[in-house]
Amino acid sequence: MPNENRTNNRRKFSYYVQVFENVTLELFGYITDISPRGFRLDSVKPHGVNRDYTLRIDLTGEIFERSFVTFVARVMWIKPDPFDTSAFIEGYKIISITPADEAIFNKMLENYSSNGHNW
């Protein structure tokens, strides 16, 4: 992306994790790669650049001590998906997350991601 400001490399996520809008529980998109302070999301509708959203990721109870994490993330960029003209690729920066949810988010990063290409 132009004017790249990322300080942590993103890692390819090994699962297509669903992300929901926290209040309505409407499907927001799918995480495809992740870093400690952000992620890339595939979505069927674009979300506003520079807008903050309160999002939720549901977790597997056998692996994590909680059933979900919530956080506020800001859309940093959006581009059309080059392979699916009805979809969008969006870059997010995590703006606010509790220490407990951040620990779980980092555990997800370590357990379910691998080094891959950077976006």
User: For 19-59, what is each residue's pLDDT tens digit?
Assistant: 999 999 999 999 888 888 899 999 999 999 999 999 999 88
Domains defined for the chain, CATH in brackets: 11-112 (2.40.10.220)
Q: What are phi and psi of 8, to 5 degrees?
A: -115, 135
User: For 51-70, what is each residue's pLDDT tens digit?
Assistant: 999 999 988 766 677 889 99
Q: What is the DSSP letter of 92?
A: E
Query: In whole angstroms, what is the distance from residue 3 CA to residue 78 CA?
Result: 14
User: For 75-116, what is each residue's pLDDT tens digit?
Assistant: 999 999 999 989 999 999 999 999 999 988 888 877 776 665
What pLDDT is attached to residue 26? 95
Decide if pLDDT at 2 tops 70.
no
